[in-house]
């Protein structure tokens, strides 16, 4: 249980899938396959990186909570 939610394996799989999709978006944007004009390019690139970091931390916390529930008691 994490933040009052019962962690199901599908939550971990879904967050990992979303993290993978963000990674692909980040790669395509960094190689300029997806183009934004001017400063918007770096703003979106930076915002995507921060969201990947946050989602990675949530993904890891959910996995730890699921596999080692005694850590969060």
pLDDT single digits (tens) 12-36: 999 999 999 999 999 999 899 998 8
For residue 2, report the phi and psi dihedrals to the nearest 5 degrees. Answer: -135, 120
pLDDT of 22 reads 96
- Kindly tell me if the per-residue pLDDT of 5 is higher than 80: no
- Kindly tell me if the per-residue pLDDT of 4 is higher than 90: no
Interatomic CA distance for residues 47 and 30, integer angstroms: 13
**Contact criterion met (CB below 8 Å) for 68 and 62:** no
pLDDT of 1 reads 64
pLDDT of 38 reads 87
pLDDT of 6 reads 83
């Amino acid at each position: 249980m994490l933040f009052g939610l019962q962690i199901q394996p599908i939550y971990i799989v879904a967050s990992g899938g979303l993290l993978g999709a963000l990674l692909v978006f980040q790669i395509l944007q960094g190689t300029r396959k997806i183009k934004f004009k001017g400063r918007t390019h770096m703003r979106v690139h930076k915002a995507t990186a921060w969201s990947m970091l946050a989602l990675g931390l949530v993904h890891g916390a959910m996995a730890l909570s699921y596999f080692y529930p005694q850590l969060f008691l």
